[in-house]
Amino acid sequence: MNTFWMQSKAETVRMLRNKYYIFWSLLVPVLFYFLFTNIFIAPREDDGLWNLHYLMSMTTFSIMGSSMMTLGIKIVQEKAEGWTIFLKITPLSQFIYYGAKMVAQTVIHLFSILVIFTAGILINDVSLLFSQWLFCGIWILFGSLPFLALGTIIGTIKKVETASGISNLLYMSMAITGGMWMPIEVFPSFMQQVAKWVPSYHFANGAWEIIRNHYPSFSSYLMIIGYLVLFMVLSTYIGKKREAV
Amino acid sequence: MQTIVELKNVTKEFQQKKAVNDVSFSIKQGEMVAILGANGAGKTTTMRMMLGLMKPTRGTVSLFQKDPKHKEVLERVGGMLQEVSVMDSLKVKELIQLIQSYYQHPLELSSLLELTGLHEEEWNKRTEKLSGGQKRRLNFALALAGNPDLLFLDEPTVGMDVTARENFWRKIKELNKQGKTILFTTHYLQEADEVAERIIMINKGEVVGDGTPEQLKGKLTKPRVRFQEKISYPIDFYRTLPFVVEVQKEKETVTLIATNADQLLKEIFDRQLNIHHIEVKLGRLEEVFSQLMEDTKEVDSNEHLLDAK
């Protein structure tokens, strides 16, 4: 138990010391939020709702990024530098190694959620019921799971450069197709159909529903769980195949 | 003493090429063993199989009579591997404490910090800011974090300067005196000769010699008798002397390579040869080593061995 606690603590500390995390997962989403709710304003029916909607977009955008990028690239880096090999000759189990990474990610995500929600309150004075804030937070933590699994798939890539390139590409395309940067209603109808099948859309959509006093739809739950299972199976399969060599 | 490392007919193939070929040896508790061989001879592959990082294609490896990956084995083993960096974004002290927490009976923090050889003000330095040599020392301390009974060191002194190397081996000898079994690979012959009590020579994936440095020298090297001639004798004359296998002559300096120096000297004195400045030299391990490498090179010069990394 002590090992698990120490490992989780170390992983959390490492993430908080990561400058890329601070920049990409905290500063960039908050800056985008400020720009798209205060500077580039298109005529809207309901400014208050837009401010909340975009806050959820940016929070999910941030969490999706740290799940895929920080987790995946760190795993690749630790492999490339031989650190994972060293761990294999210590009594540390794979379960604790990955488990602690997941705990650290969750702690960090909670921190990101608090920072970005607070930024929303400070910048645009947005308001929600406490239960809605809470539900949004819980939904976002839950919805991050398939992206963490995707992060472990990225973690099976051999080179840091490849991993960083692929994860960036995936990250940006999922952010756009999922409607995190601009609502999918402005997309052509074909793109709107595509959005319904990408995990990022369902991830953000759950939160968008909550701020509109709805529950996340059944299909969003289904997609999140479906993609989680798919990515976990893929990650295990690729991992096993790599190990066999 | 108990046998704690045992390899039985271990072979490792990579894409049909044999990196390690039918290697068998065992190591008893408290031994200090060098695995000596040129680059690509199969040392690292052998060590990685002993550590359970690679599976042998054929044959078995056991540590403490168990599978190398057994949890009880991992508690008692420490390793310093090649091309292993340290976890970044943690301070030296934090990293040591983390690794300590993996073991049931770790070595105390103060001893481990001392083993790193770092000054107190560097204990709070982030690991990525350490120099290559400092990282290596930290790796060494981490290998000892669990207070292991058996320590594997893969080319531990590569990149260390002379002083660092001396300090390092002094520490290792101390650990060996405390009863720890130590197994290291090296391609520096001198290191194996000076430090190890036993050398296992590996060439082209096969064990070509196994014994104390003295035994290996005795078995593989032949003594030389060298002297100056007062009057010149023909080379063919020296060749007729008993025990002589080779004659080298340069002006009045003659070197006789013999199977038995004592008997040859007796012969020289009995015949009252007109010579002076007689020296007897035992063969140097280095010569044997390079000779061994040469021999096999001639046999199959086309074959390349995979360096297993």
- Phi and psi at residue A107, to the nearest 5°: -60, -45
pLDDT exceeds 50 at position B299: no
* Helix, strand and coil percent figures for chain B, each rounded to 5: 35, 30, 35
Give the nearest partner residue to B84 out of A7, A77, A85, using CB atoms.
A85
**Chain B nearest-CA residue for A79:** B84
Q: Is A17 on the interface with B (CB under 8 A)?
A: yes
Tokens of A185: 């209603």
The answer to whether B181 touches B167, Cβ cutoff 8 Å, is no
B278 Cβ contact partners less than 8 Å away, ≥ 6 residues apart: B225, B226, B227, B265, B268
If we measure between CA atoms, which residue out of B179, B208, B225 comes closest to residue B295? B208
pLDDT given at position B83: 87
pLDDT exceeds 80 at position B205: yes
Tell me what ipTM this predicted complex has. 0.88
B111 Cβ contact partners less than 8 Å away, ≥ 6 residues apart: none
B142 Cβ contact partners less than 8 Å away, ≥ 6 residues apart: A86, B80, B86, B95, B96, B99, B112
pLDDT exceeds 60 at position B296: no
Q: How far is B98 from chain A (nearest CA, A)?
A: 6
Q: How far is A150 from chain B (nearest CA, A)?
A: 23
CA dihedral sign, ordered B203, B208, B213, B218: negative
Q: How far is B309 from chain A (nearest CA, A)?
A: 11
pLDDT exceeds 60 at position B295: no
If we measure between CA atoms, which residue out of A216, A195, A220, A207 comes closest to residue A52? A207
Residue A121 CA, chain-centre distance (Å), reads: 21
Tokens of B49: 């199989």
Tokens 């500077």, residue located: A39
Tokens of A189: 């109808």
Are B98 and A10 in contact (CB < 8 Å)?
yes
Are A91 and B102 in contact (CB < 8 Å)?
yes
Question: Mutate which of B66, B88, B138 to test chain A, going by most A C-beta atoms within 10 A?
Answer: B88
Q: How far apart are CA A192 and CA B247, in angstroms?
A: 91
Tokens of B125: 């330095």
Residues of A in contact with B130 (CB under 8 A): none
| pLDDT tens per residue, range A109-145 | 999 999 999 999 999 999 999 999 999 999 999 999 9
Work out the mean pLDDT of chain B and round it to a whole number.
Answer: 88
Q: What percent of chain B has pLDDT over 90?
A: 56
Inter-CA distances, B191 with A11, B155, B180, B254, Å: 39, 11, 19, 31
Q: How far apart are CA B102 and CA A108, in angstroms?
A: 24
| pLDDT tens per residue, range A159-214 | 999 999 999 999 999 999 999 998 888 889 998 999 999 999 999 999 999 999 99
Long-range contacts formed by B299-303: CB under 8 A, 24+ apart: B303/B204
Question: Mutate which of B85, B97, B105 to test chain A, going by most A C-beta atoms within 10 A?
Answer: B85
Q: How far apart are CA B147 and CA B77, in angstroms?
A: 8
The answer to whether B292 touches B208, Cβ cutoff 8 Å, is yes
The answer to whether A126 touches A51, Cβ cutoff 8 Å, is yes
Between B103-107, B195-199, B295-299, the lowest mean confidence (pLDDT) is in B295-299
Higher pLDDT, B258 or B64: B64
Q: Is A7 on the interface with B (CB under 8 A)?
A: yes
pLDDT exceeds 50 at position B300: no
Q: How far apart are CA A68 and CA A48, in angstroms?
A: 31
Q: Which domains does chain B have, with CATH numbers?
A: 3-218 (3.40.50.300), 222-281 (3.30.70)
Residues on B contacting A at a C-beta cutoff of 8 Å = 51-53, 71, 74-75, 77-79, 81, 83-90, 94-95, 97-99, 101-104, 126, 139, 142, 145-146, 152
Q: How far apart are CA B193 and CA A200, in angstroms?
A: 62
| pLDDT tens per residue, range B145-185 | 999 999 999 999 887 888 888 989 999 999 999 999 999 99
The answer to whether B117 touches B166, Cβ cutoff 8 Å, is no
Q: What percent of chain A has pLDDT over 90?
A: 83
The answer to whether B88 touches B127, Cβ cutoff 8 Å, is yes
- Phi and psi at residue A19, to the nearest 5°: -65, -35
Single pTM value for the model: 0.82
pLDDT given at position B305: 39
pLDDT exceeds 90 at position B251: no
Are A78 and B87 in contact (CB < 8 Å)?
yes
DSSP state of A52: H
Within 13 Å and on the Cβ side, how many CA atoms surround B3?
Answer: 11
Hey, which residues does B58 pair with through a beta bridge? B11
pLDDT exceeds 70 at position B303: no
For the CA atoms of B250, B253, B258, B262, the dihedral, rounded to the nearest 10 degrees, stands at 180
Q: Please count the other Cβ atoms lying within 10 Å of the Cβ belonging to residue B300.
A: 9
Q: How far apart are CA A165 and CA A177, in angstroms?
A: 18
